[in-house]
Structure 1
Amino acid sequence: MNGKAYVAGVGMVPFGKPGASDNYEIMAAAAVRKALANAGLEYGDVQQAIVGYVYGDSTAGQKALYNVGMTGIPVANVNNNCSTGSTALFLARQLVEAGAVDCVLALGFEQMQAGALQTHWTDRPSPFADFDKLCDDINPYPVPLALRYFGGAGKEYMDKYGTTPELFAKVRAKASRHARNNPMALFRKEVTAEDVMASPVVFPEAGMTRLMACAPTCGAAAALLVSHDFAERKKLDRRVFIAAQAMTTDRPGTFEKRSMMTLVGADMTREAAEMVYEKAGIGPKDVDVVELHDCFAQNEVVTYEGLRLCEEGGADKFVSEGQNTYGGRIVTNPSGGLLSKGHPLGATGLAQCTELVEQLRGTAGERQVPNARIGLQHNLGLGGACVVTLYQRAN
């Protein structure tokens, strides 16, 4: 597997609230058409499609793509929780690098319901049973499980390093400043750290407020990966390629360490990041821009260390000095991240891809990171899988 996978085209639709967005097949088809137009390709050029979504019936990927074209190509549907979009990208990248195909579509979409995430299959064992049991044991507070997972990780971080909830409030405020310049973001209103702290408290023991959590979101995003020869033959954009990528899943330590930070994927993140840095032959100090999985402000802070953007226990200083934003060492989530842009589960990874490709091409408009040449993507799904992808500008 020595052929590079180039990102020839990307596309996404503006993210929206449940009930206020189009149905999934309309959003997905629109994202695909945008990616094709961005690449200068026809749907007939696509040889395979990997489609990701979390909430939907079987073969929803076919339903979405048939609105674009019915060319008989292989269509595979994938579900890896919140890392689904990047899982589709991971599989597409492998196909191109292996030389199996020259042009692959990775598509992710989600049509979500309002309110907290729900379990839909209650007549069989839940894949989260072991996670929920440990969370109940470590963090037995009367709040919804998603809040307990990530709020518990934030509480552990505060207990370990002596930080306060204001750290997470600053992260959320930064996300809103970035989203202000992103027309695809769901929430574009700028908020201050004081606004975040003053919003309704949803997990008192962890100091978590409502604005520290992302909201249910609908949306779709797509990317076209192509081989070098195909791109050259078709005269496609070859400015951005995937330099390294890794997917990790849980190890026994997820449960044995009895750590909420580990339970929400900190070890998976660290392992995937190290694999990517080693394969690409670079380190975190070489990265210019990052899109990371900030489903909660607490998770962004934990992820800083997993990606080695700051030293262990150094997130408070990193954030307070503005090293995570424009003018600092590395711009994190210029799109506004999941907190402001929104988090349509299956689409999130490919929306992150779209943002980073635009940044490395220099086409991100008002949110452009100056001279961005290396971008890092982190997409996490509990249950669990973590995908870290490093993009590089070719010239």
Structure 2
Amino acid sequence: MTLQQRAVHVVGVGMIPFTKPGTSEPYNVMGARATQLALADARLSYDLIQQAYVGYVYGDSTAGQAALYQVGLSGIPVFNLNNNCATGSSALFLARQAVESGMVECALALGMDQMVPGALKGAFDDRPSPMQRFADTMTAHQGYETGTPRAAQFFGGAGRDYMAQYGTRPDTFGRIAVKARQHAARNPLAVFRQVLTLEEVMASPMVFDPLTRYQCCPPTCGAAAAIVCSGEFARKHGLDTSVVIASQAMTTDSPASFESNDMRKLVGYDMTADAAKQVYEAAGVGPEDVDVVELHDCFTANELISYEALGLTPPGTAEKFVLDGDNTYGGRYVVNPSGGLLSKGHPLGATGLAQCAELVWQLRGRAEDRQVQNARIALQHNLGLGGACVVTLYQRQ
């Protein structure tokens, strides 16, 4: 847990519309556009940015420079990083940390990815895979289906283990996909905006039981960015200080991930729970104080188990949480008002910063048709197998 040294404000965010692979601009153009949108939102010039952290999964070394050089050639440090699906929030974590520590007064976090169609797979086959230990643990627990996307087997297995313990119905997972499409229909930046019925979700082709196709996030292209700074810098330049990062934590795997014989832990349940606990304690709030949530719904099963890992509902009650509508407008929380990874899309490097943008808009009261009324506290959860988890809590001042 990072000890809070000084307030860090999110003063600008930008996000371009997410698209299907093959229909996007090149990654460097997308990254530059998202950065320019964040600068315009902050009403700040690029030459005032002191450091930049750029995340992407599908790209070569120094792709961050290739994107930012289209915005300006200011000579600042540009750091490139890859933390699988938690890449965007990892970039935000480092930018926030640089400002909070006093290393810089203003930093940029940018996430982008230009993905290809089809299931995720590694880029190299001539060296050890960083996912090998995870794959071996999964195979020992539930076997391995050749020809089935590996990510679906990881998270579908987590759903199976939850069902085995609590007797959850398969269509409960399907209802999460229905909710995601309903929310995305209000989001002009989402890739899938057509609503679906529960019958349509459940009738779509089975990928890995209990996950049907509409319960799996799509490969997506896109970019998003955020500018963070100190309060002193914001006041000096007349910036909007209404949104502050109240607390943030990043975690990685513990022995339980591999030793528990539980797919939920293998895909990050404990990482999520540990990060959430740190964040609540540091901010002096509890999950009951949260108004709006953007969580990592790469598959419906992960959204369901994350409700409990984040403390939004007690263990074993996630099905009731869904059936009671406590995950949408009119319920206890609005979860993934953007449409989430399932419907907004999931360009791996950009996801964490797209979540950040949505929550900043919500706290500013500028989320238009998606607006959560009187939102003052927002929670973000971004997870990457391999593994990394970043949980961030934002507050409106």
Q: TM-score, normalised on structure 1?
A: 0.98
- Provide the C-alpha distance between the structure 2 equivalents of 1:163 and 1:86, rounded to a whole number of angstroms: 31
Separation in structure 2 between the aligned mates of residue 366 and residue 95 of structure 1, nearest angstrom: 34
Pairs within 5 Å for 1:24-39:
24-39=27-42
Match of 1:329 in 2: 332
CA distance in 2, matches of 1:169, 1:14: 25
2:366 to 363, 366, 383: 363
**Residue deviations 1:215-274 (CA, integer Å, cap 9, x gap):** 000000000001000000001000000000000000111101011000000000000000
Aligned-pair distance for 1:165? 1.1
**Residue 9 of structure 2 is aligned to residue 6 of structure 1:** yes
**Aligned position for 1:220:** 223
Match in the other structure for 1:196 = 201
Paired residue total: 392
Q: Which amino acid aligns with 1:166?
A: D
Task: Decide which of 257, 261, 268 is 1:258's aligned counterpart.
Answer: 261
**Aligned pairs (5 A) from 1:160-171:** 160-171=165-176
CA distance in structure 2 between the aligned counterparts of 1:181 and 1:238, rounded to whole angstroms: 27
Amino acid at match of 2:173: F
Q: Secondary structure at the match of 2:152?
A: helix
Match of 1:68 in 2: 71
Distance 1:289 1:194 in 2: 28
Q: Displacement of 1:93 after TM fit? A: 0.4
CA RMSD of aligned residues (A): 0.7
Give the Å deviation of 1:137. 1.2
Aligned: 1:318 with 2:324: no
Retained in 1: the 8 A contact 2:361–2:367? Answer: yes
Paired letter, 1:386: C
1:229 aligns with 232
The worse-fitting range, judged by mean Cα deviation, of 193-202 and 323-332 is 193-202
Provide the C-alpha distance between the structure 1 equivalents of 2:91 and 2:108, rounded to a whole number of angstroms: 9
Contact persistence 1:139–1:148 (CA under 8 A): no
Superimposed CA distance per residue, residues 304-341 of structure 1 (whole angstroms, 9 cap, x where no aligned partner): 00001111010111010101100000100000000000
Q: Is the 8 A contact 1:289 1:372 kept in 2?
A: yes
What SS does structure 1 have at the residue aligned with 2:349?
helix
Q: Could you tell me how far apart the structure 2 residues matched to 1:46 and 1:227 are?
A: 12
* Contact 2:138/2:144, CA 8 A, preserved across alignment: no
Using the TM superposition, give the Cα deviation of residue 141 of structure 1 relative to its aligned residue in structure 2, in angstroms.
4.3
Matched, 1:283 2:286: yes
Is 2:180 the counterpart of 1:185?
no
Q: Hey, what does 2:386 align to over in structure 1?
A: 383
Which of 337, 345, 349 in structure 1 is aligned with 2:348? 345
From 79, 83, 90, the counterpart of 2:82: 79
SS at match of 2:165: helix
Q: Is it true that 1:145 corresponds to 2:150 in the alignment? A: yes
Q: Distance in 2 between matches of 1:303 and 1:244?
A: 19
Work out whether 1:158 is the aligned partner of 2:160.
Answer: no
Gaps spanning 5+ residues in structure 2: where?
A: none
| 1:77 maps to amino acid | N
Q: For 1:347, give the aligned amino acid.
A: A
Q: How far did residue 207 of structure 1 move?
A: 2.2
Task: Tell me the secondary structure at the aligned position of residue 185 of structure 1.
Answer: coil
Asked whether the 8 Å contact 1:9–1:35 carries over to 2, the reply is yes
1:292 to 278, 291, 295: 295
CA distance in structure 2 between the aligned counterparts of 1:380 and 1:188, rounded to whole angstroms: 24
Structure 1 runs of 4+ with >2 Å offset: none
Q: Percent identity between the aligned chains?
A: 61
3-state SS of paired residue (1:279):
helix
Give the match for residue 372 of structure 1. 375
Query: Cα deviations across residues 287-315 of structure 1 (Å, max 9, x unaligned)?
Result: 00000000000000010000011110101
- Other structure's SS at 2:350 match: helix
**1:208 Cα deviation from its structure 2 partner:** 1.6
